[in-house]
Amino acid sequence: MEKLVDRFNRRIDYLRISVTDRCNLRCVYCMPESGIMNKAHDDLLTFEEITRIVTACASLGVDKVRLTGGEPLVRKGIVELVGSLSRINGIEDISMTTNGILLNGYAARLKEAGLKRVNISLDTLDAGRYRSITRFGELENVEDALRKAVKIGLSPVKINALLLDGMTKDEICRFFALTLEDPIHVRFLEFMPVNSFYKNAAPISTGMVMDAAKGFRRFSGAGVRGFGPARAFRFEGGLGTFGIIAPMTCKFCSSCNRLRLTSDGYLKGCLHSNAKISLREPLRKGISDEGLRGLIMSSVEAKPKEHGLGLEPAESSEYLMCQIGG
């Protein structure tokens, strides 16, 4: 089996797939209040096309796949897609990032189809603030989904909490408490200034998380499967962990192992770069398996050394976060 290695000697073995640009929430940092102009149905990759792309990637050494959106659970047939991907030779780990609103009704079927683990985007444990951030979401739905994911054995179950203005040390400690009695893994994410429509971004320092942790309980370093670039820690006696992902103040580009597939069929080597290769049109024109692998390898060869966020001038992404899955 061939292996994908880029110009900077990084082994590429992870594919993130945005299956839709649609979402059932309107989080203030992710999408304008008016929503976005969604892609036409014919512009989206079919599940058969996604499966063929993943099969080609697997033949080149990719063994991990994550389904994202938008919100992946709003796309019809998502359980069947998970089942198809789980049957591809070489794919060992299928995960999903979701806002959790619909997860309670899907979790058991997704696990049976082959989903191994799940990330739930949850930026607050206060119901009022949750409605304010998501514009109309109900926290209770996400809490039910979190309990269901743990109960049925998806592992690890992770929470992605974005560090935004208004998050207090008390709230951070509420997230810490989730990791004590259940195998829940909380990752605090540093805000990335990707979209210009979010004018009121006032990110807080990751140092605030560590300060809160020092006053909460004794903790030490920990390893968690699929924790990616996060630094992970476990509180004394806790079943879960907490961690920090800091793409701005502590770049981890040197160890990036990812490719990203947009819902409209473009393969990208970096979330924050506009460099992309279309796979949809070649697929629909009958490209061979060998030709498809060649396009994938070309995308790997074009993968940049690092993102340019925080630099002047910075490249502005043509995709919103809701369109490419973060």
Question: CA 240, 241, 242, 243 torsion: positive or negative?
Answer: negative
Q: Please tell me the total count of domains within the chain.
A: 1
CATH number of the structural domain spanning residue 306: 3.20.20.70
pLDDT digits (tens, 9 = 90+) for 168-201: 999 999 999 999 999 999 999 988 766 555 555 5
Q: Tens of pLDDT along 97-145?
A: 999 999 999 999 999 999 999 999 999 999 999 999 999 899 999 999 9
Q: Smallest Cα–Cα separation from 164: which of 211, 141, 132?
A: 132
Q: What is the pLDDT of residue 194?
A: 63
Contact 299, 5 (CB under 8 A): no
Residue 310 has pLDDT above 70, yes or no: no
Q: Which domain holds residue 201?
A: 4-324
208 close to 170: Cβ distance less than 8 angstroms? no
* Burial (0-12, 13-18, 19+ Cβ within 10 Å), 210: middle
CB atoms within 10 A of CB 138: 13
Residue 159 DSSP SS3: strand
Give the confidence band of 318 by pLDDT, cuts at 50, 70, 90.
Answer: low
